[in-house]
Amino acid sequence: MEQTGDIVTLKAGHYRLRAQLAQSNYGTIWRAERDGFAPVALKLVNRTQMERAEPALRARWSECAAREIAFLTALAPWDGRHIVRLLDHGSHEDLPAFALELLDGDLAAHVAEETAQGRPIGLARALAWIAQVNAALAKVHQHGWRYLDLKPSNLLLDAANDSLKLADFGTNRSLADLAAHSYAGTASWQAPEQFFPAGAGYLTDARADYFALGALFYWLVTSGATLRYAGACGDAFRAHGREGAAQLKEACPPILGEDEAVRFLGCCGGEGDPQAALALLRALLARRPQDRPPHALAISRMIAAARADAPARAA
């Protein structure tokens, strides 16, 4: 297990671990320093969790890291405007390791702080962020992947210009593979087809990411409120694992209750066009994938409509 002060060597040089920033089942992220360069976020495989897993599952830890490195390496420099930048990669103790640009924390922590200080996110700021995430997802889809784990903790804040960057690509699945796949993602941010299995697996495509974008939109405008549907899925998974889908299927709440729609409108304030924003929300959160927007351009047009103010519409 790594400790503060340890040295990790990648292709471009040596990095000294300074402080652990985050940890998940698959990885640990450290603030690390390399002489003469700005600090980085160093991502390592979580060996402690990997060693606890069944032998047949251990390869998944390395596969997730390798998948993330492959995707980020494939990006051209201009692709990464709203995707975290890969700075270096290699291996550490025979497992994949890589260095990313160090940003200013994740969106979950930022929104919690803003809410605690009595500063609601508001419709205008939420739409700006949703547009950025939509652009990042478009790049993921363009490179032939579906993301499948969009949530606030996977979005990093660049405080200097109040923008977001998408991170953590270990759950990426190929868009070309139309077969049912194994469980992936986080239950409280999943589209119905990603939470409720179709036979032995899950049938998803890029539109599963659009559903999560809708859940994120609601969460932002309401300054951190979770949809009842999303909360029920999260509770079922925590209590029963993947079997929770069967427990919930007959008593699943509506994806967007009418009272939740009213709350959303109430949080929009006098910004933009609240009704157009609600239309965008409903489209993203459609239960059936075919009823959601078909691509990023359609979403960007709906975002533009929601941003318009009353004088602009009248003109």
pLDDT in tens, 12-44: 999 999 999 988 877 899 999 999 999 999 999
Residue 111 CB contacts under 8 Å (≥ 6 apart), including other chains: 121, 152, 219, 220, 223, 224
Question: In terms of domains, do 240 and 169 share one?
Answer: yes
Element (H, E) at 19: strand 14-23
Q: How far apart are CA 228 and CA 53, in angstroms?
A: 32
Instruction: Judge whether 248 lies within some domain.
Output: yes
Look at residue 50 in the predicted model and tell me its pLDDT: 83
Q: How far apart are CA 29 and CA 42, in angstroms?
A: 5
Question: In terms of domains, do 155 and 256 share one?
Answer: yes
Average pLDDT over residues 160-178: 92
pLDDT class of 239 with cuts at 50, 70, 90 = very high
Residue given tokens 């109430």 in the structure block: 266
Assess whether pLDDT exceeds 90 at residue 250. no
Element (H, E) at 91: strand 86-92
Give the end of a domain, one of 50, 80, 101: 101
Average pLDDT over residues 156-184: 93
Number of domains in the chain: 2
Q: How far apart are CA 262 and CA 217, in angstroms?
A: 15
Look at residue 280 in the predicted model and tell me its pLDDT: 98
Tell me the CATH number at 59: 3.30.200.20
pLDDT class of 48 with cuts at 50, 70, 90 = confident
Neighbours of 303 (CB within 10 A): 19
Question: In terms of domains, do 151 and 201 share one?
Answer: yes
3-state secondary structure (DSSP) of residue 111: helix
Question: In terms of domains, do 177 and 272 share one?
Answer: yes
Average pLDDT over residues 122-135: 97
Look at residue 312 in the predicted model and tell me its pLDDT: 42
Give the end of a domain, one of 52, 79, 101: 101
Instruction: Judge whether 94 lies within some domain.
Output: yes
Question: In terms of domains, do 65 and 132 share one?
Answer: no
Question: In terms of domains, do 250 and 129 share one?
Answer: yes
Instruction: Judge whether 1 lies within some domain.
Output: no
Question: In terms of domains, do 15 and 150 share one?
Answer: no
Instruction: Judge whether 249 lies within some domain.
Output: yes
Burial of 218 (0-12, 13-18, 19+ CB in 10 A): buried
Report how far apart, in Å, the C-alpha atoms of 197 and of each of 44, 147, 148, 234, 245 are: 31, 18, 14, 15, 8
Average pLDDT over residues 126-145: 96
Q: Are 211 and 147 in contact (CB under 8 A)?
A: no
Q: How far apart are CA 64 and CA 66, in angstroms?
A: 5
* Rg of the Cα atoms in the chain: 20
Question: In terms of domains, do 68 and 162 share one?
Answer: no
Q: How far apart are CA 72 and CA 70, in angstroms?
A: 6
Instruction: Judge whether 2 lies within some domain.
Output: no
3-state secondary structure (DSSP) of residue 32: strand
pLDDT class of 266 with cuts at 50, 70, 90 = very high
Instruction: Judge whether 69 lies within some domain.
Output: yes
Q: Cα angle at 148 between 144 and 153, to 5 degrees?
A: 125
Question: In terms of domains, do 87 and 120 share one?
Answer: no
Assess whether pLDDT exceeds 50 at residue 293. yes
Could you tell me which residue, 102 or 46, shows the higher pLDDT? 102
Question: In terms of domains, do 191 and 65 share one?
Answer: no
Assess whether pLDDT exceeds 50 at residue 313. no
Instruction: Judge whether 194 lies within some domain.
Output: yes
Structural domain boundaries enclosing 213: 107-314
Question: In terms of domains, do 154 and 285 share one?
Answer: yes
Instruction: Judge whether 118 lies within some domain.
Output: yes
Give the end of a domain, one of 83, 101, 119: 101
Tell me the CATH number at 222: 1.10.510.10
Look at residue 225 in the predicted model and tell me its pLDDT: 96
pLDDT in tens, 104-117: 999 999 999 999 99
Question: In terms of domains, do 85 and 198 share one?
Answer: no
Assess whether pLDDT exceeds 50 at residue 315. no
